[in-house]
Amino acid sequence: MYDYLIVGAGFAGSVLAERLAKDSNKKVLIIDRRNHIGGNAYDFYNEAGILIHKYGPHIFHTNSAEVFEYLSRFTAWRPYEHRVLASVAGKLLPIPINLDTVNWLYGRDFTSEELEQYFEEIKEPVQNVRTSEDVVVSQVGRDLYEKFFRGYTRKQWGMDPSELDKLVTSRIPTRTNRDDRYFTDEFQYMPLHGYTRMFENVLDHPNIHIALNTSYAEIKKYVGFKNLVFTGPVDEYFDYCYGKLPYRSLQFVHETLDTPLLQPVAVVNYPNDHEYTRITEYKHLTGQQHANKTSITYEYPSWEGDPYYPVPKPENATLYQKYKLLTETLPNVHFVGRLGTYRYYNMDQVVAQALTLYGKLANRKSLKEAIDTRIEKKHVTSPGIYVPSTISVAAAPEA
Ligand code: FAD
Ligand code: UDP
């Protein structure tokens, strides 16, 4: 009999397993239908000995000191600031759009102030910014929207940006300075030895049992558990009783080339050419040295395959709300993660969401308290009575 069965060994499931096992002394079984831990962040050394991400590029970035501090217990880090170029009009230009993007695209020599003025002139007035098209045309106008966003978004999501919620393209800022970083978060790092190694450390605890190649449908008949954490697709859990929630998928084509380096940055986006959206070259992300080979991944969007992206549009949000009401009828089942809560979340947001759920389960008031490991710090005072070490060892009564 386990205290918790956790379905899915990605960030959501693994963080909860660690907290419940280590901090609350619960017996946990974590399962995944894949043959590895780490969920979509799984990485591995390929046949050339190069560390690659099986499910496309994963770059860690966060503004949450708690999330960063928590994950730092399980990995050392490599400082890494992500830069992306977009192949547009025969040039490789910085994306997010910045001062250099516009100057190099149009052969201009704007200053930041002039570019702000230029955007004022070309942006389209939108009364109520609702869609992913609205977001971009209301900031940089139609030409830049069509060159950098429309084609990419149509490929990536299989629909026009005008059909997608504004949150999708709002992920990409517009800048009038020369900052060409993809993210501006306070903490931007890659796990020094990779994500999989980090997950091994997260799950390394005697209270945690791991079963891979195991789906919830098959194991639920054979194993006893008091509580369930479900990080798979929420509609799957309820047998699609209200219909399927759409998830966008990707086909990843991995290649190793006989050249030391292919492209100037880790990711090059192709908004207007090819069926793939982007090419990732891992050596830039990991800093790995390899004299004469490099490994890359092409991403081909598709409706077939594993569910990767919840599709942010109003009717899907409405359908999700119906499932959410069902989840609220099950007090011992907890839905969390990108698929479990149908949210287009980054890794750090999923970690924060999992820690918040743990805080609720363990009666902690804040994220800071949720990452405080109490069992380890406790001192026995008399049989059955524990005093947290935050009271300090000297003040604690003798055992
Ligand atoms: P997942 O990682 O999807 O884990 C869920 C696990 O549950 C899976 O391993 C699945 O096999 C298992 N599972 C599901 N159903 C069942 C079942 N019924 N039985 C057993 N097992 C089941 N985020 C960033 O912060 N930075 C990035 O650069 C970034 N890049 C990304 C690139 C791509 C191509 C994608 C797709 C995502 C990217 N993300 C990135 C987002 C990141 O992958 C997610 O935020 C994170 O992996 C979500 O973790 P999770 O635990 O919720 O879900
Ligand atoms: N996007 C785009 N052109 C780009 C980069 C992004 O149109 O060159 C849009 C596209 O709709 C994409 C969204 O912005 O899905 C968010 O981009 P992000 O890089 O955050 O996507 P992810 O890494 O999650 O796939």
pLDDT, position 394: 29
Ligand having the closest approach to the CA of 30:
1
Pocket test for ligand 2, best of 169, 269, 349, 350 (most atoms within 8 A of CB): 169
Which numbered ligand comes closest to the C-alpha of 311? Answer: 2
Contact 371, 365 (CB under 8 A): no
Using DSSP, state whether 189 is helix, strand or coil: strand
Q: Are strands 28-31 and 2-7 parallel, antiparallel or unpaired?
A: parallel
* pLDDT tens-digit series, residues 354-388: 999 999 999 999 999 999 887 655 444 444 333 33
Ligand 1 binding residues, C-beta < 6 A? 7-13, 31-34, 39-41, 55-59, 215-216, 231-232, 250, 308, 337-339, 345-348, 350
Q: Are strands 385-387 and 379-382 parallel, antiparallel or unpaired?
A: antiparallel
Which residue puts its alpha carbon closest to atom 7 of ligand 2? 149
**Residues in the chain, pLDDT under 70:** 375-399
Q: Rounded distance, CA 7 to CA 220, Å? A: 10
Tally of residues, the chain: 399
What is residue 373's predicted lDDT score, i.e. its pLDDT?
81
b/e map 327-366, b = 16+ CB within 10 Å? beeeeeebbbbbbbbbbebbbbbbbbbbbebbbebbebee
pLDDT one-digit tens code per residue, 47-69: 999 999 999 999 999 999 999 99
Confirm or reject: Cβ of 108 under 6 Å from ligand 2: no
Residue with CA nearest ligand 2 atom 1: 149
- Ligand 1 centroid–CA 255 distance in Å is 22
- DSSP output for 201-251: HHT--TTEEEE-S--HHHHTTT--EEEEEE-S-HHHHTTTTT-PPPEEEEE
Specify whether the CB–CB gap between 91 and 274 falls below 8 A: no
* Ligand 2 neighbour 276 (Cβ under 6 A): no
Predicted local distance difference test score (pLDDT) of residue 374? 77
Tell me which of 231, 252, 282, 334 to substitute to probe ligand 1's pocket, judged by most ligand atoms within 8 Å of the beta carbon. 231
